[in-house]
Chains A and B, each alone.
Chain A
Amino acid sequence: MSARRPYVRSMDGWWRRNPFFIVYMIREGTAVLVVAYAVVLLFGVVRLAQGEAAYNGWLTALQSPWSLAFHLVLLVSFIYHTWSWFSIMPKTMPMILIGGKKLQPGVITGAGLAVSAVVCAALFILVMQLAS
């Protein structure tokens, strides 16, 4: 064992010390809920392949208050994911020049959110039409 024991500052909870990093961690944290939703769907598909009784069990589970509450949390998280995804998009995509001028970050974010709102609405209306 070395006699030298240099001081290393603890990094525990580093992100809680700065609001910017709290937002960063919440944004990265949405990944866990995206996975959770994919797992819910995956179980649904597997149950569907197993037959009607198995599938109805999955459907009954989806109708429980716990599941509805969980999906409400998922919904909030997904909306936040959408918002944050397009908020950082100006930084993650290559710069776009229009007439020699840089496309403003607000335009990219706004366009992304608008497209997302239209697509979500269209998808819901489509399902509504198909279901009725």
Chain B
Amino acid sequence: MKRSNAPIFWSLFGAGGILSALIGPALVFITGIAAPSGLLLPRDTMSYPHMLAFAQHWADKGFVFIVISLFLWHGAHRIFHSLHDLGIPIGTGAKLACYGPALLGTIVAAIALLALRF
């Protein structure tokens, strides 16, 4: 019997789900509200020199990569499994439409982060 690839997608979904549940609210507040508006954080928190130095450290680079890719895979998997609920037939096309962008986003994130060097 051919081994199912489902556990891979479920693992990525679970990992992204727990990561976003643990740090998601804080991340959104920091990057989307506090830093841009200057509320509780200095307005230059996410300035170019700061973020460049941040993204050039290997640990921060890895963290950013994991957050972006796992959030994408989590969302893609959940959306894929909701398609049936919305009356959309699930087949190879739907699978590609859901997981394809997640894979593309993962690759783009990796290329951009590596281009920033260490």
Given the complex, which residues of A lie within 8 Å of B37, measured CB to CB? 63, 68
- Classify the interface of chain B: helix, strand, loop or mixed: helix
Q: Which range contains the number of A residues in contact with the other chain?
A: 35 or more
Is A2 interfacial (CB-CB < 8 Å)?
Answer: no
Which chain A residue lies CB-closest to B114?
A: A49
Interface residues of chain A, those whose CB is within 8 Å of chain B, are 11-12, 15, 25, 28-32, 34-35, 37-42, 44-46, 48-49, 52, 55-56, 59, 62-63, 67-68, 70-72, 74-75, 78-79, 81-82, 85-86, 112, 115-116, 119-121, 123-124, 127-128, 131-132
Contacts A56-B48, A112-B21; A37 near B85 (Cβ below 8 A): no
A21 (CB) vs chain B CBs: closest residue: B85
Q: A-contacting residues of B (Cβ < 8 Å)?
A: 16-18, 20-37, 40-42, 44-48, 50-52, 55, 64, 67-69, 71-72, 74-79, 81-82, 85, 87, 105, 108-109, 111-113, 115-116
